[in-house]
Amino acid sequence: MKIYFINESQLIAISKSGRTTSSDDVQNFLYAKERGIEVHLFVRKNKDDKTSKEFYYLGNMQAEIDKTKQFMMPNTQKTAVEILWQLDTPVREDIYRYIVEE
């Protein structure tokens, strides 16, 4: 899953290609609370960084079901799903800046 922060409290996650809003894993994310599933966010600054492999735990998050979009991946015939997430606790400002800045 690829994620993009909007701000310290919200992020957008893009599913793997080939997923739809009906896919089991997407449904589990969208209805996690009702299904008794906790969704925890772990991120690292850059997956290609060969020296630092540190992950940061940023807490629990909830999917904004009404903001979920299924779309066609560019240059492919495969679908993917974009989910807007709301973090239960905003990311500390210094950690947020470190993660999102180049």
Tell me how many domains the chain contains.
1
pLDDT class of 85 with cuts at 50, 70, 90: very high
pLDDT of residue 63: 98
Interatomic CA distance for residues 29 and 39, integer angstroms: 7
Interatomic CA distance for residues 92 and 86, integer angstroms: 15
Interatomic CA distance for residues 4 and 14, integer angstroms: 9
Note the pTM of the prediction, 2 decimals. Answer: 0.88
Ramachandran sector of residue 5 (left: φ over 0; alpha: ψ -120 to 50; beta: rest)? beta
The domain of 27 spans: 2-100
Give the model confidence (pLDDT) of 29-80 as tens digits: 999 999 999 999 999 887 776 666 788 899 999 999 999 999 999 888 999 9
Is residue 101's pLDDT more than 70?
yes
Q: What are 38's two structure tokens?
A: 């906790």
More confident residue, 48 or 11: 11
- Please give, one letter per residue, the 3-state secondary structure of 51-64: CCCCCEEEEEEEEC
